[in-house]
Amino acid sequence: MSRLLDSHSLLRSHRLYAKDLPLDISSHIEHGRDVINQQIPRWKDNHAHQEVLNKLTNLQIAHDEYNLAVNNLQHNIDSVISNKERKILQRDYARYYDSELKHDDVLEIIARQKYISNEFDDQINGVIQQFISWQYPSLEINPADGRYSSLMNASDPQYAICTTKEVKQLLRSKFNKFYSTRRLRIYNKIKNIPINQIGFATCINMFEYMPLDPIKDITKQVFDCLRPGGMFLLSYNNCDHRQSLDLLNSNFRCLNTKKIMESLLYGQGFNIVSSESSNGVWSWLLVTKPGNRSTQKLSTAEIPIVEKFYSWDEFPIEIQKWVMSHKANTQEEWMRTLARDFDNQWERQSVDWSHLGTSGDNVWKKYNNSIRIYIASTF
C-alpha cells in the first residue's frame, strides 16, 4: 500500500505541473494578423506580409495542436490517478468496516486532538464565536477532548453526540452541575436530535478518518437537523494538499479532496459559505442549509452557565507540582488522592495558599474542575 500511495502522490504532482503546460497566445496571433492586414493595402509588393500571415496561421495550428496534446496528457494522468484512487478508497472502506478495528476508541479519539495546530485552532474558534448564538440550539459531533465545547455553551440548548462513556464524562466535567444536567444534552446518535431546529453544528477532526459513505450519512442527518439558514462547520482531509496526502500513510487518514467534499455537500442541498486550510494539514468548510435563519426566542434564560476553565499552563506552578506529585494509574484514583491530600493539608493548615490570592478552600473550588479535565486528557 505504501508503494501505491507513493505512486499516487507522484501522479498528483505530475498533474499539478501539467496544469501550467497549456499556452494561450491566440490573442497575440490575432493581434499580429490585424496589424499585417492593415499594412497590406499600402504595399504594392506585399509578399513579405503574406509570408508573415502564413506563419501566423501555422503558428495558430501548432498552438491548437499543442494544447490538444496537453489536454490528452492531462486526461491520461487523471485516468491513471482515478484508478489509483479507487484502490485507495477500497483500502479505506475495508479498514473502516473491519470489525476488529475500533473507531470509537476513546484514547485514539482524544489523542488525535493533540495534532491540531494553533493556527487551525484559532480559525475554528473564530468561526464558532462568530456564528454561535443563544437564539438557536447547537450541535457538536465528536467533542473529543471538549476544546470547543465551552464556546458552544452560548447556545440554548447545547446538543452533543458522544459514543463513549469516557468522552461524555470528559464533556460534562467542563461545565458546572446545573448546566451539564439542564442545558447540555448528550446523545449517542444524531437521529435523536430534533429535526429542523439546530442553528449551528460542528464536526471537527472526525471526517479525516472516514471514507465517503459514513461521511455522507452524517452530513445528511445534520442537514435534516438544521433549521433553514442553519450552519455546519466541518473539517476534512483535503488531499489536494501534499501534506494531507502524505497522512494517508500508516492508515492514519482517508482519501478525500475539496472537490469531492463540496460535490457531496452540494448534492445534499448545502450551500458553501467559505473554506480554508491551515498548513496544508487541516482543512475546513462552512456550509449552510438554504433559507433564512430565524427564531421566536426574545431573550436568553437567566441561569449560570459555566465556571471558568483553566488550561494546564494557567495553573500556578505550585498547583502543577502538587498535581503531578500524586499521579496515579487511573483518573479516579488520581483525583481521590488529590482530594484526600488537600483535605488533610487544609485541616492541618500545613500549606499556605494566601499568595495565590485566595483561601485554600477556594483554591480547590477554583481549580478542581480544571484539574479533573487535565487528568482525563492524559489518559
Which cell numbers in the block locate residue 354?
494566601
Answer yes or no: is pLDDT of 1 > 60. no
Q: What sign does the CA torsion over 114, 116, 121, 127 have? A: negative
Give the global pTM: 0.66
Q: What is the pLDDT of residue 75?
A: 94
Where does residue 185 rank: exposed (0-12), middle (13-18), buried (19+ CB within 10 A)? middle
Residues 280 and 343 in one domain: no
Same domain, 270 and 349: no
Q: Enter the C-alpha cell of residue 257.
A: 479532496
Cα separation, 149 vs 113, in Å, equals 13
Q: Alpha-carbon torsion 69, 74, 79, 80, what sign?
A: positive
Shared domain for 350 and 283, answered yes or no, is: no
Computed over every residue of the chain, the mean pLDDT equals: 85
Is residue 138 one of the residues assigned to a domain? yes
Residue 138 grid cell: 447547537
The last residue of a domain, from among 47, 65, 96: 96
pLDDT at 353 over 80: no
What share of the chain in percent tops pLDDT 90? Answer: 47
pLDDT at residue 362 is higher than 80: no
Q: Tell me which of 109-113, 123-127, 194-198 is least confident.
A: 109-113
Taking the C-alpha atoms of residue 94 and residue 101, their distance in angstroms, rounded to an integer, is 10
Smallest CA-to-CA distance from 253 within 89, 11, 8, 12 is with: 89
Confidence band of 352 (pLDDT split at 50, 70, 90): low
- Which of the two residues, 314 and 212, has the higher pLDDT score? 212
Domain boundary among 61, 96, 131: 96
Distance CA 113, CA 60 (A): 55
Query: pLDDT band for position 357 (50/70/90)?
Result: low
How far is the C-alpha of 180 from the C-alpha of 174, rounded, in Å? 8
pLDDT above 50: residue 348: no
Has residue 245 been placed in a domain?
yes
CB neighbourhood size of 48 (10 A): 11
Give tens-digit pLDDT for 295-305.
Answer: 766 555 554 44
| 130 and 274, same domain (yes or no) | yes
Into how many domains does the chain fold?
A: 3
Residues 54 and 199 in one domain: no
Is a pLDDT exceeding 70 seen at residue 156? yes
182 in the same domain as 269: yes
Instruction: Quickly state the pLDDT bin for 256 (edges 50, 70, 90).
Output: very high
pLDDT reported for residue 127: 93
Reply yes or no on whether the pLDDT at 356 is more than 60.
no
pLDDT value, residue 354:
58
Establish if 102 belongs to a structural domain.
no
Locate 261 and state its grid cell: 467534499
* Residue percentage of the chain with pLDDT more than 70: 88
Let me know whether 118 and 266 are in one domain.
Answer: yes
Instruction: Report the distance separating Cα 224 and Cα 267, nearest Å.
Output: 14
**Residue 3 in this model has a pLDDT that exceeds 60:** yes
- The answer to whether position 295 is within a domain reads no
Structural domain for 60, as ranges: 2-96
List the 282-288 sheet strands across, edge first.
184-187, 158-161, 138-141, 198-203, 226-236, 282-288, 271-278
CATH number for the domain spanning 149: value is 3.40.50.150
Place of cell 443563544: 134
Going by pLDDT thresholds of 50, 70 and 90, the confidence category of residue 170 is: confident
Distance from C-alpha of 225 to C-alpha of 270, rounded to nearest angstrom: 13
Vertex 285, ends 255 and 309: CA angle to 5°? 105
CB within 8 Å of 132: residues ≥ 6 apart: 138, 151, 152, 154, 155, 200
What is the structure's pLDDT at 221?
96
Residues 196 and 333 in one domain: no
Tell which residue, 274, 266, 196, 202, has the closest CA to residue 229: 196
The mean-pLDDT minimum among 52-66, 111-125, 269-283, 337-351 falls in 337-351
